[in-house]
Structure 1
Amino acid sequence: MIKDLIKYLEKPTLYAKSTCEFWNDEHISKGMLEAHLHPTWEAASRSHDFIDKSVDWIAEIIPLSTYKNFLDLGCGPGLYTERLYKRGYNITGIDFSKRSIQYANQKAVQNNQDINYIYTDYLKMDFHEEFEAVLLIYCDFAVLSDVQRESLLQKVYNSLKPGGVFIFDVFTAKEFEGKTENHTWHISEGNDFWMREKHIRFESHFVYEGDVRLDQNVLIDKEGQVSIFRNWFKGFTKETIIAEVERSGFQMCDIYADATGKSCFKDSSTLCIVAKK
């Protein structure tokens, strides 16, 4: 058991996967949905006030008269999707959390909203010139591996009509400033974010080359069952994100500090990219 534990706490290889599903874990997904829906928490989505400002800005830079059909990747319970629908856009939302998609679908039916929600991994989507705009918000792009990012950019490019735009945000190195490799452990009586049952949690933060970071949580329940959750993050500069986007055929339009359209500045912890096909 001790040897196994040491193995679990060693620094993983770059972009090693979790041992179980994060988004569809029965207990965790419940807490994630609660975090999405809380108006001020930013554990799963931006605050609802930020989202309102973000949708105002999106509607301004991609007006309905030109950009009618919209794809929201990682839509969660529909926080952006519903707001954009109310602005008049034809909306499709994709998410890999079954609980979030079920909630979004139920709310759309309840409110008589014609929103197309799809439960799937957006890395597996296959559209061909169906949308004028694609959205990926809350730095989801920055959690993907190099191979996944390249694949996603190509899929987004294929999904857009000529002249369509891709709006997404990423972290910069400022997000991780002062954060070094560290390890802590906790004993929980249960009913916390991670697990209903009593458990031990080993929490680690690892640093890799290329401004890549890993938050790892190793959980051991009372039966000795081990679950490993790995959340990867990458920091970008204007130059590195422009290079990635242009390699996929996009033209660069503008870069902002965040998804409300604030101007970039030296200490921005995020960047928001508007790329045109």
Structure 2
Amino acid sequence: MQKEKNNWYASWFNTPYYHILYKDRDHREAALFMNTLTNYLKLKENDSILDLACGKGRHSKYLYRQGFNVTGVDLSEESIAYAKQYEKPRLQFEVHDMCLPFPKKFDAVFNLYTSFGYFEKEEDNLRTIKAIKSELKPNGYGVIDFLNVELAIKKLVPSEKKEVGGILFDIEKYVEDGYIIKNIRFNDEGDDYCFTERVKALRLEGFKDYFEKAGVTLKAVFGDYKLNKFDENTSERLILIFN
């Protein structure tokens, strides 16, 4: 039986298979990035942070342990249900669509690990930037941590197989109509599954266009989690700081 999901970010992220495939993400690198970023932004103990598209809350939980008041939100009900077991007075999780304004103001809003550019409708990318703006306190900062499209396309592996958790994932990657596409196929207990990740191939100029339309100011651009200078040809990431 072939099981396909069309609204990929709402369905794929809500399956256990997404978390199986990506279970080996580097938690130490994530912690070091959070330390570097919060120091750069001069965030103080008890400052408030919105972790936008937080998944199961790995960044949120770390930021809480560093003394911040953290709200993690995600569209995935399964991810938020999992994260809620870690809730405390300064750590809260809610199901929320990030292109809609969250009804609270924060000292910082973090959108991490390429959690942008998923939408079917182009205008929803701009709506998300506008929503972040509305969620910031007057001196607050928004942060988008995105892939560097130029390098990602150069290093793109068209086809690979990866075994994780006893499941063999067959992964196909390509660029089409301005999107980086990843098709993920696998079999589990006799059922065939197919999911698609689809991320808009946004470059710095594209983000600048969104920022101008949303009325936000780009303050800094970095190319990795140590906040080194961005180079379109060599940087692994595109990290944007704005208010």
Q: Same fold (TM over 0.5)?
A: yes
Percent identical pairs in the alignment equals 19
Which amino acid in the other structure matches residue 175 of structure 2? V
Tell me the residue number matched to 2:181: 214
Distance 1:68 1:80 in 2: 15
1:63 Cα deviation from its structure 2 partner: 2.4
Paired positions, count: 237
1:226 Cα deviation from its structure 2 partner: 6.8
Tell me the residue number matched to 1:141: 116
1:46-125 to 2 correspondence within 5 Å? 47-65=26-44, 68-108=47-87, 112=88, 114-123=90-99, 125=100
State the secondary structure of the residue aligned to 1:255: strand
Distance 1:163 1:177 in 2: 38
Structure 2: runs of 5 or more not aligned: none
Structure 1: runs of 5 or more not aligned: 9-15, 36-40, 195-200
TM-score, structure 2 as length reference: 0.80
1:195-234 to 2 correspondence within 5 Å? 204-210=172-178, 212-217=179-184, 227-234=193-200
Which amino acid in the other structure matches residue 231 of structure 1? E
Tell me the residue number matched to 1:161: 137
Tell me the residue number matched to 1:198: none
Of structures 1 and 2, the larger Rg is shown by 1
Distance 1:58 1:192 in 2: 35
Tell me the residue number matched to 1:177: 154
1:263 Cα deviation from its structure 2 partner: 1.8
Q: Deviations over 1:155-188 (max 9, x none)?
A: 11121222321111122221121547x57899x9
1:120 Cα deviation from its structure 2 partner: 3.2
Which amino acid in the other structure matches residue 176 of structure 2? Y
Range moving further from structure 2, 97-106 or 264-273:
97-106
Structure 2 residue aligned with 1:267, among 210, 223, 234?
234
TM-score, structure 1 as length reference: 0.71
State the secondary structure of the residue aligned to 1:254: strand
Tell me the residue number matched to 1:247: 213
Of Structure 1 and Structure 2, which has the larger fraction of its residues in strand? 2
CA contact (8 A) 2:218 2:242 kept: yes
1:20 Cα deviation from its structure 2 partner: 8.0
State the secondary structure of the residue aligned to 2:167: coil
CA contact (8 A) 2:46 2:67 kept: no
State the secondary structure of the residue aligned to 1:205: strand
1:2-21 to 2 correspondence within 5 Å? 17-18=7-8, 21=11
Which amino acid in the other structure matches residue 66 of structure 2? R
Q: What is the RMSD computed on CA atoms of the aligned residues?
A: 3.4
Which amino acid in the other structure matches residue 275 of structure 1? F
